[in-house]
Structure formats: structure tokens, C-alpha cells
Chain A
Amino acid sequence: MRKILTTEAQTPSSGKPAGLPANSVGIVEPQSHTFPGPFKLACGRVLDEYTLVYETYGTLNADKNNGVLICHALSGHHHAAGYHSEDDKRPGWWDHYIGPGKPIDTNKFFVVALNNLGGCHGSTGPTSINPQTDKPWGPDFPPLRARDWVHSQAQLADHLGIRQWAAVVGGSLGGMQAMRWALEYPDRLRHCVVIASAMKLSAQNIAFNETARQAITSDPDFRDGRYLEEETLPRHGLAVARMIGHITYLSDDGLGKKFGRELRSGTFKQGVEELVEFQVQSYLRYQGDTFSSSFDPNTYILMTRALDYFDLAREYDDDPVKAFSNARCKFLLVSFTSDWRFAPERSREIADALMHANLPVSYAEVESPMGHDAFLLPNARYENLFSAYMNNVASEKSSKRENEVAA
């Protein structure tokens, strides 16, 4: 049994074709595991079994204490770093920060990234077949909360033989999961890295999410969410939802710098009726269209609802200090100056609560014009901070090992 686990925990890192960057984890292959149920969800419903798709980078050490879990954000999935093939045009979504020599250094850490339950990239979700009906789950898939993800991630950790993560890391919705980890499984992580996140959404955040969901559900092809059975797809609705989301991930300044008021077609010349199209319009449409051909609308609805419901302190008398007093790990928080979706104030609230709870925490507010998306993009200060912190996480682990050996 144990032997099988170890084999599965190895990264297929053997082949790094010459064409790929030297600091890439190279060609990676998703893996999947089906967990036997019953798996009880926060909503009260039970899954008889579920599958998670995940990728791993780096090697799990003999003590199995160098595991780092990457929690994905709203539209993320298991493919966080590296390439699926040599012809792959783009690497995984957090490739800037995961790889040999990068902040989450795969020479030191065994990195696990997964597609969350309810996702649409292989893990059990609305596009999977409901065993009760033999039809796609669609809108009948149970609503999920961040804690359901955390519990399923804990089962994945068990499966990989990881009792305690060196760090659980996440940005945005991923940061919420990382914080939930610290409360639900305090002894199963040593560090919690929360980037551009919040303890709960603001009314404005929820308003944007609701508008996005309305865009999807009002598409005539949505068919009450049963579009798979009816062989339609609310492509336009999902594209609009993504466009709304995308605007909130960027900053006014960032969009202005990238596109300004540049025209893609048409002219402002008087006496000409030709329609004017701004560059930013076609950019947004492109983003929307690309997304709507790769993401499931029901999953988008489910994930945005999980975001809306998330409230770290709700069950702790709305007192974040009381909530965090359950945690044992160390925290790193990072926010970005132009992020108005999860503004620095939201991270500052987390830092304040952690300091009140007397937990080790460091917090940095990184200058960036890139809005919420900054957490995925290259930024020298962010990279240096993140690397320094993770270096300490790695050396702490080895010194702990030395102590154990000495004892």
C-alpha cells in the first residue's frame, strides 16, 4: 500500500525538453484519485465517492514533511506549473512562482496542486455523472463551502502520505482555503501563506458575483442549468460573467496603461457613421470567449457562491481573533496596492486579527499597478519576499529534522 503511494507521489519530471525554460518544472502529467465516501458536505448532503485531479512537482522527502499545498482561486485548477506538452503555449497558472529556484522551490518542496471538488477540470463536479441518475449533476450538484474543499484536500494529503504540510498556500479564494486549513486542521500545517485575500467578501464583491451569475442564468441556453442534458451551452452568459470578473481583477490604472482609449477599428471623424471599437472591448471579449470554451457555467456559479458564503469568523461569534486562536501555524500575508477586489485593507484585517491572537505573522503591501491579478504576475519585491519566507520554511524543516535525528 505504502509503496504505491510513494510511486504516485513522484513527479514525472524526467523529461524537460530543451525548448522549455530552465526554471520550469518541465512536462507534468495530471493524476487522479477517487476517494471512497461517504463524504459529508457542509450543506448536509453526502457524496458516495469523489475524484480529485491533481499535479505534483518536486519530490516528497523521506520524512514527508516538505509538502506544500497550492489552493486555487475561482477559476483555477490542478495545472499550476509546468507544461502538459512541448507544444503547450502557456504554462500552469502560477508558473512564475512554482519551479526550481522560484519562491516555491521545487528543489526543496513537494508541491501539490489540485482541481477542487466542484471543479470542471476532472475533479467531481457539476459536469460529472450523478450516480443516482446516470445524468450529469448540473445544477443538482451540492453547494460547496471552502471547508468542504479543505476536508477533501486533507483526504488527498492522507492519500499522498502527508501528515503535515510545510505550508498551505493560496491567493484570493485560495487564501481563504489556506486560512480555513489553519482553523480546521491546526496541527496539519506549519505555515499558511495568504495572498491578496480576505476573511469575507464585501457587499461590492458579492454584488459583482451576483451580476456574473445573473449573466449566466439569463442566457437562454442556460436551461435552468441542464444545458449538458439539453446539449446547449450558455456561452455568452459565461463570457459576460468572465468579462465582469476580469474587470474586477485589473485596476483602472493597469487597464489604462495597457489599452488607454486606443481604437481597434473605426474612427472618431465627424460625418462618418462607422462604429468605433476600443482595444479594451476586443480584449475583454477575447478573455470572455476563451474562458467560456474551457469552463463550466455551473461550476462558475458554484465557486462564486462558495466565495460569497465564506466568512472565516462566522462560527466564532464573528470574532476573527477567536477564530484564529485555534490556529497554530505561522502566517505570511501579502496584498497589492492597486487590488480593489481584495484591497490591502482586507489583508490588514487578517494581520490585525492574527496579532491580537498572538500568532506569528508577517504582512507586506506590495506596490503594483496590476490589480488583483498581481499575485500571479512577476514582481521583484513580491518574489523576493515570498522566496525569503519559503527559504525559512525549508530550512526550518531541515533543522527540525536535524534535531529529531540528534534526539
Chain B
Amino acid sequence: MRKDLDIIHNWIAPETRVLDLGCGDGALLERLSKEKQVGGYGLEIDPDQIQKCIERGVNVVEQNLDNGLKNFADQSFDTVVMTQALQTLRFPHLVVEEMLRVGRECIITFPNFGQWKARWHLAVSGRMPVSDLLPYEWYDTPNIHFCTFKDFEVLCRQHGWQILHRQVVSESPVSGVLKDFLPNLFGETAIYHLTR
């Protein structure tokens, strides 16, 4: 399982209700349900991912996050999770607002565009970075709103979102050590645990 999902798993209390936005293949929800008796739903738009969720027996509802979460009542979930989808949204800040309306807390993970590899790639080659983490060319990428950790924290301050926890993960061992000193430079994925 991806490192960010491991951490999220630890942050979610047993027997709570979770809404997972852009839930992918449902791996997180499946594990939360098996190990922590967490109930809830995943929202997804990719037909292949929906198929995988159904194969796993995870509750999945086809829904486009760009259309908002109007169909969910205020504070109807304990935690609203969104992993690696923030950067694909048309208006990420509006979706986070909605997440904090629908859930008491929210957990968001996104790739850090401020990581040194991305900075290096752009600085040296003068072209948009393409890597394992960001495996798309600029013209066919679902990622339309990249940000860095710093950018995201500015957004949190502006909207009065309170950061409960923040963790930075890195797949490579060297970055893994350095990320603790310079997270915005060495962290590959950020995990933010927010509330209002």
C-alpha cells in the first residue's frame, strides 16, 4: 500500500464514517473496513476504478467531484479523505471547503510540486517535469492545479483551516531523511489533516 495511505490509516479512528473522494480502486476503504470497522463510501469517476471497488466489495458511488458535494449533508461524515486528487480539480479550494462542511475533519494528500526533482527538471531542462510521481506530459495530464507545500499552507491560512497534523513522505531513502529538515524541497507527497 502507498505510504500516504498507511499514514491515513493510522489517523482514522475505528468505527467512524469516512467519505473517500476519488477513492481509486478502494484499497484504503477496504483496509479501513476490515481492520478498523470503518464504514463509508468512495466517490470515483473512472469506470475501471469503480469496477475494482465493486470487485473488492467496497461501496463506490460514481460522482464527479468538480460538481461539488451538494448531495451530502453538513457534518455527515467523521472524516472526508482525498488522496492524490487535489491537483486534478478545477477549483481545489472549493472542494476543500466542501470537505470541511461535510466532514468534521478532512485528510488530503497531494504531490509536492516544490520537490527538488521537479524544481531541478524545470530549472535545468526548461520543460515540465515528467517522473514516476508525475507521469504525464503537460498536454494530457489530469493534473491541472499543482501546488507546493508552502502554497497549500498559505491557502489553509487564508481560509482559516486548522492543520491538525502534517506529514511528508518520500519514497527514496535519501529524500526520506532530508524531508524532515526541508520538507518543501525533499518531500514527494504531503498529507494534511485539517479541521475548521
Instruction: Check B54–A352 contact: CB distance below 8 A.
Output: no
Beta-carbon contacts under 8 Å, B57-91 to A: 57-62, 71-73, 76
Instruction: Check A355–B41 contact: CB distance below 8 A.
Output: yes
Q: Would A355 and B51 be within 8 Å (CB), given that A348-B71, A361-B41 are in contact?
A: no
Q: A305–B61 Cα gap in the complex (Å)?
A: 32
How many contacting A-B pairs (Cβ < 8 A)? 48
Beta-carbon contacts under 8 Å, B34-61 to A: 39, 41, 47, 50-51, 53-55, 57-61
Instruction: Check B76–A365 contact: CB distance below 8 A.
Output: no
Instruction: Check B47–A362 contact: CB distance below 8 A.
Output: no
Q: Would A389 and B54 be within 8 Å (CB), given that A356-B76, A361-B59 are in contact?
A: yes
Instruction: Check B47–A381 contact: CB distance below 8 A.
Output: yes
Cβ-closest chain A residue relative to B26: A362
Instruction: Check A363–B61 contact: CB distance below 8 A.
Output: yes
Instruction: Check A361–B51 contact: CB distance below 8 A.
Output: no
Instruction: Check B54–A362 contact: CB distance below 8 A.
Output: yes
Chain A residues with CB below 8 A from B62, complex form: 363-365
Instruction: Check B53–A362 contact: CB distance below 8 A.
Output: yes
Instruction: Count B interface residues, CB 8 Å.
Output: 19
Q: Could you mark each residue 274-288 of chain A with 1 if its beta carbon is under 8 Å from any beta carbon of chain B, else 0?
A: 000000000000000
Q: Would A364 and B50 be within 8 Å (CB), given that A356-B73, A356-B76 are in contact?
A: yes
Q: Could you mark each residue 345-388 of chain A with 1 if its beta carbon is under 8 Å from any beta carbon of chain B, else 0?
A: 00010011001101011111101000000000000010011001
The reply to whether the CB of A392 lies closer than 8 angstroms to some CB of chain B is yes
Which label, helix, strand, loop or mixed, suits the secondary structure of the B interface?
mixed
Instruction: Check B59–A362 contact: CB distance below 8 A.
Output: yes
Q: Could you mark each residue 151-166 of chain A with 1 if its beta carbon is under 8 Å from any beta carbon of chain B, else 0?
A: 0000000000000000
The reply to whether the CB of B17 lies closer than 8 angstroms to some CB of chain A is yes
Chain A residues with CB below 8 A from B17, complex form: 358
Instruction: Check A358–B51 contact: CB distance below 8 A.
Output: no
Chain B residues with CB below 8 A from A360, complex form: 59
Q: Which of B50, B61, B76 is A361 in contact with, Cβ under 8 Å?
A: B61
Cβ-closest chain A residue relative to B19: A355
Q: A384–B48 Cα gap in the complex (Å)?
A: 10
Chain B residues with CB below 8 A from A355, complex form: 41, 61, 71-72
Q: A360–B72 Cα gap in the complex (Å)?
A: 15
Chain A residues with CB below 8 A from B55, complex form: 388, 391-392
Q: Could you mark each residue 94-134 of chain B with 1 if its beta carbon is under 8 Å from any beta carbon of chain A, else 0?
A: 00000000000000000000000000000000000000000
Q: A285–B56 Cα gap in the complex (Å)?
A: 46
Instruction: Check A352–B51 contact: CB distance below 8 A.
Output: no
Q: Which of B53, B59, B71, B76 has the most CB of A within 10 A?
A: B59
Chain B residues with CB below 8 A from A348, complex form: 71
Q: A360–B50 Cα gap in the complex (Å)?
A: 15
Shortest Cβ distance from residue B79 to the other chain A in the assembled complex, whole angstroms: 15
Q: Would A385 and B71 be within 8 Å (CB), given that A351-B61, A358-B17, A365-B62 are in contact?
A: no
Shortest Cβ distance from residue A289 to the other chain B in the assembled complex, whole angstroms: 39
Beta-carbon contacts under 8 Å, A243-278 to B: none
Q: Which of A348, A358, A362 has the most CB of B within 10 A?
A: A362
Shortest Cβ distance from residue A337 to the other chain B in the assembled complex, whole angstroms: 11
Beta-carbon contacts under 8 Å, A291-311 to B: none
Cβ-closest chain A residue relative to B52: A388
Cβ-closest chain A residue relative to B47: A381
Q: A360–B42 Cα gap in the complex (Å)?
A: 11
Chain B residues with CB below 8 A from A384, complex form: 51
Q: A348–B63 Cα gap in the complex (Å)?
A: 9
Q: Could you mark each residue 383-407 of chain A with 1 if its beta carbon is under 8 Å from any beta carbon of chain B, else 0?
A: 0110011011000100000000000
Shortest Cβ distance from residue A191 to the other chain B in the assembled complex, whole angstroms: 11
Q: Could you mark each residue 8-47 of chain B with 1 if its beta carbon is under 8 Å from any beta carbon of chain A, else 0?
A: 0000000001000000000000000000000101000001
Q: A56–B123 Cα gap in the complex (Å)?
A: 69
Instruction: Check A385–B54 contact: CB distance below 8 A.
Output: yes
Shortest Cβ distance from residue A389 to the other chain B in the assembled complex, whole angstroms: 5
Q: A102–B62 Cα gap in the complex (Å)?
A: 23
Shortest Cβ distance from residue A399 to the other chain B in the assembled complex, whole angstroms: 11
Q: A62–B33 Cα gap in the complex (Å)?
A: 31
Q: A310–B57 Cα gap in the complex (Å)?
A: 30
Chain A residues with CB below 8 A from B73, complex form: 356
Chain A residues with CB below 8 A from B54, complex form: 332, 362, 364, 385, 388-389, 392
Chain B residues with CB below 8 A from A358, complex form: 17, 39
Chain A residues with CB below 8 A from B53, complex form: 362
Shortest Cβ distance from residue B51 to the other chain A in the assembled complex, whole angstroms: 6
Instruction: Check A388–B72 contact: CB distance below 8 A.
Output: no
Q: A68–B61 Cα gap in the complex (Å)?
A: 24
Chain A residues with CB below 8 A from B57, complex form: 392, 396
Q: A residues engaging B (CB < 8 A)?
A: 332, 348, 351-352, 355-356, 358, 360-365, 367, 381, 384-385, 388-389, 391-392, 396
- Residue pairs across A and B with Cβ atoms less than 8 A apart, 9 shown, are A332-B54, A348-B71, A355-B41, A358-B17, A360-B59, A367-B47, A388-B51, A388-B55, A392-B54
Q: B residues engaging A (CB < 8 A)?
A: 17, 39, 41, 47, 50-51, 53-55, 57-62, 71-73, 76
Q: 19 other contacts beyond A355-B72, A367-B47, A385-B54, with CB at 8 A cut-off? A: A351-B61, A355-B41, A355-B71, A360-B59, A361-B41, A361-B59, A362-B50, A362-B58, A362-B59, A362-B61, A363-B60, A363-B61, A363-B62, A364-B50, A364-B54, A388-B51, A389-B54, A391-B55, A392-B57
The 8 closest A-B pairs by CB, nearest first: A352-B71, A363-B61, A388-B55, A388-B54, A365-B62, A392-B57, A362-B60, A364-B62
